[in-house]
Structure 1
Amino acid sequence: MLQLATAIKKSEIADNIFELVLKTELHKYTLRPGQFVHVRVSKSTEHVLRRPISISNIDYDNNEITIVFRAEGAGTRKLAEINEGETLDFLMPLGNGYDITAAAGGSHVLIVGGGIGVPPLYELSKQLKERGVKTTHVLGFNSKKDVFYEAEFKNLGETYIATADGTYGSAGFVTDVIQKLGTDFNQFYACGPKVMLKVLDETMPMDGFISLEERMGCGFGVCYACVCETKAGGHLKICTDGPVFEKGAVVL
């Protein structure tokens, strides 16, 4: 589970959004879209806690994974300073990913992402397409400077962009775009801010899956730092029971 990787490519793909391609012993694992790595961002004791970062692309042929993150806190800003050729250590694979088998071949699903919740949906859409599932993507960002992966998603299916300030794509939120598209889909998959997920969870008429963004301590269920309440009255750990949950399972 503890894994070493070499950074082979780093790019700033949007404002303060970095894409990092890592070469590692990927052949030892079977990964699911929506799972994450828990990265040690520094060798010093200044940043003791690892940072959970979702996997946006899986390349078994080249033993590479891609992670995308926003450099906004001290830890992720430190991670953004990594140079190509340097080594990272992380825990992998962690979390409960999306169930791609829930979408039958020939079905049509809606994929909804918000901000830094967009990256894990790219690998999800790739794998769904390989299964013969048609995907429509609605991606929301704050502003034009924050938009990334538009071309990548367009290569997989119809893609719509919404920006809160109206500087690119449709003005408003992903829910505004969905209202125009309608809800004639077999299922939906989503990842993004909790307020966005709450609206989708309460209004989408079809079954679906949501992935929560959450700060974590250990990443594997020991510290209980990322507990969420279920609608049935119990509690679940986002790091092990999630981050992906079925629609209606947890309190948002």
Structure 2
Amino acid sequence: MINKEKMCIQSRQLIAADTIEMVLKNRRVSQAASPGQFLHISVPGHTLRRPISIADVDKDAGTTTILFKINGSGTERLAAYTEEMHLDILGPSGNGFPTATASMEDHTILLIGGGIGIPPLHYLGRTLAEQGKKVIAVLGFQSKSHVFYEKKFQQFAETFIVTDDGSYGNSGLVTDLLDDVTPFDRYYTCGPMPMLQAVTSKLAHKDGYLSLEERMGCGIGACFACVIPEAGTSGYRKICKDGPVFQAEEVVL
């Protein structure tokens, strides 16, 4: 059951170009959240809620961190919210990354993120590191001004930064680095569709999971606004309810 909640903004800051970090207080949400889930946030003046991935959780403090990019009137209005204001949310929503199924043989995990698809991988990577896994992160951004959370990832992962224009870190695409990273047992990826297509194609021989970024309607699986073809069938999977995380071979990108 998805609950409707109020979350108080504890802090709000611009952490990179057009990228906002918010720390939200609600103990029930923080206790229930798992890596890969999202919050479905109501924005006044806009009919559709905004699905925003959970970037981190502090269960002791009762806080949940989200990151989002300002890319339209809805996120622009959301970015204008300040400390002590409250957000109307549904969640935590969706099915997250299956960290509990990572076997003892999965010693090394590769995280591959692009842009605003990177935040959910932060909470995932920290969780896996706490389970004793070796974590490698390959993170792609547009340019140096868009880079965020590099030091946070470095706290638990061997981290590689890639920028489209070469202004910081490695130049090119995240897939350009995949042949150079340490051998790994499983991968998790989140980012724009072209990136996911390239990653899953290049790593087709590997066990992997992907998280899909998608504009949603109801966010609870009733409206069929966010569907993706299911591999091997003529059916579809609902991203908001069945996902946003899927096994790489489970859906057709």
Q: What range describes the TM-score normalised by the shorter chain of this pair?
A: over 0.9
CA contact (8 A) 1:14 1:146 kept: yes
What is the percent sequence identity of the aligned residues? 45
- Describe how 1:158-169 pairs up with structure 2 within 5 A: 158-169=158-169
CA positional deviation for 1:27? 6.3
In structure 2, C-alpha distance between the alignment counterparts of 1:6 and 1:14, rounded to whole Å: 23
Query: What is the Cα deviation at residue 158 of structure 1?
Result: 0.4
3-state secondary structure, aligned to 1:179: coil
Aligned partner of 1:155 in structure 2 is: 155
Contact 2:41/2:51, CA 8 A, preserved across alignment = yes
Q: In structure 2, how many angstroms separate the alpha carbons of the residues matched to 1:27 and 1:58?
A: 9
2:8 aligns with 6
Which residue of structure 1 lines up, in the alignment, with residue 113 of structure 2? 113
The Cα offsets for residues 31-72 of structure 1, whole Å up to 9 and x where unpaired, read as: 220000000122xxx212110000001111011000000011
Gaps of at least 5 residues in structure 1 are none
Select between 100-109 and 63-72 the one with higher mean Cα deviation. Answer: 100-109
Q: Distance in 2 between matches of 1:168 and 1:188?
A: 24
Match of 1:231 in 2: 231
In 2, the alpha carbon distance for the partners of 1:113 and 1:26 equals: 28
Say if 1:104 and 1:133, in contact at 8 Å, map to a contact too.
no
Q: Is the 8 A contact 2:135 2:157 kept in 1?
A: yes
How do 1:59-208 residues align onto structure 2 when only pairs under 5 Å count? 59-105=58-104, 107-181=107-181, 184-204=183-203, 205-208=205-208
The aligned residue for residue 20 of structure 1 is 22
In structure 2, what residue type is equivalent to 1:25? Answer: R
Q: Aligned-residue CA RMSD in angstroms?
A: 1.3
Structure 2 distance, partners of 1:225, 1:231, is 19
Name structure 2 gaps, 5 residues minimum.
none
Q: SS where residue 231 of structure 1 aligns?
A: coil
Provide, for residues 69-127 of structure 1, a one-character-per-residue CA deviation record: whole Å limited to 9, x for no partner: 00111100000000101111100111110000232346001000000000000100111
Give the distance between the partners of 1:152 and 1:28, measured in 2 at CA: 19
One-letter code aligned to 2:146: D
Distance 1:179 1:213 in 2: 25
The answer for the alignment partner of 1:241 in structure 2 is: 242
Q: Deviations over 1:157-179 (max 9, x none)?
A: 10000001000000001001112
Shift of 1:180: 2.2
How many residues are treated as equivalent by the alignment?
248
- Runs of 4 or more, structure 1, over 4 Å off, are none
Pairwise CA distance, 1:203:
1.8
Q: Distance in 2 between matches of 1:83 and 1:28?
A: 20
| Distance apart, 1:230 and its partner CA | 1.1
1:50 equivalent in structure 2: 49
AA matched with 2:75 = T
5 Å-filtered alignment, 1:33-44, equals: 33-42=35-44
1:28: Cα distance to partner? 7.7
CA contact (8 A) 1:138 1:160 kept: yes
Q: Greater shift after overlay, 27-36 or 172-181?
A: 27-36
| Secondary structure, aligned partner of 1:132 | coil
CA distance in 1, matches of 2:43, 2:250: 32
CA contact (8 A) 2:4 2:91 kept: yes
Distance 2:29 2:226 in 1: 29
TM-score w.r.t. length of structure 2: 0.95
The answer (yes or no) to whether the contact 1:26–1:64 under 8 Å persists in 2 is: no
Measured in 1, the distance between the counterparts of 2:47 and 2:27 equals 24
